[in-house]
Amino acid sequence: SQQGEEDPQALSIQEGENATMNCSYKTSINNLQWYRQNSGRGLVHLILIRSNEREKHSGRLRVTLDTSKKSSSLLITASRAADTASYFCATGGNTGGFKTIFGAGTRLFVKA
């Protein structure tokens, strides 16, 4: 079964607005990662947050992790049309062995 589940499934916003995507997972993890997938392309790694970290920043991206709630959020600030893509959370941990397990993704559409 899928480990991570993103919410919402789809999100449409205006350029300049912030976009928040959430991810919930079921078992203990070592780290949680976010990836972006543009239409028809491969996934690109955005950011990794370890289980002992609560927040991490990278440019316009902010990721939070709450291991007590088994959830993470990805915030994209001042969104641009080029941010239009699907965003996936992925978990890596002791459960499941040497695997990174992906959620179903959030489809973000940023209108210019």
Partner 1 sequence: DTAVSQTPKYLVTQMGNDKSIKCEQNLGHDTMYWYKQDSKKFLKIMFSYNNKELIINETVPNRFSPKSPDKAHLNLHINSLELGDSAVYFCASSPQRGFGGELFFGEGSRLTVL
Pick the piece of the chain touching partner 1 (CB under 8 A) from 20-28, 60-68, 74-82, 86-94. Answer: 86-94
Q: Which of 83, 85, 86, 110 binds partner 1 (CB under 8 A)?
A: 86
Q: In angstroms, what is the minimal distance from the CB of 75 to partner 1?
A: 20
Q: State CA 12 to chain mean position distance.
A: 16
Q: Which of 13, 20, 48, 75 binds partner 1 (CB under 8 A)?
A: 48
Sign (positive/negative) of CA torsion 64, 37, 17, 79?
positive
- 12 sits near partner 1 (criterion: CB under 8 A): no
| DSSP reduced 3-state for 99 | coil
Taking CB under 8 A as the rule, does residue 59 contact partner 1?
no
d(CA 12, CA 19): 9
For residue 18, state whether it binds partner 1 (rule: CB under 8 A): no
Q: HEC profile for 9-45?
A: CEEEEECCCCEEEEEECCCCCCEEEEEEECCCCCEEE
For partner 1, the binding residues (CB under 8 A) are 2, 29-31, 33, 35, 40-45, 48, 86, 88, 90-94, 97-102, 104-105, 107
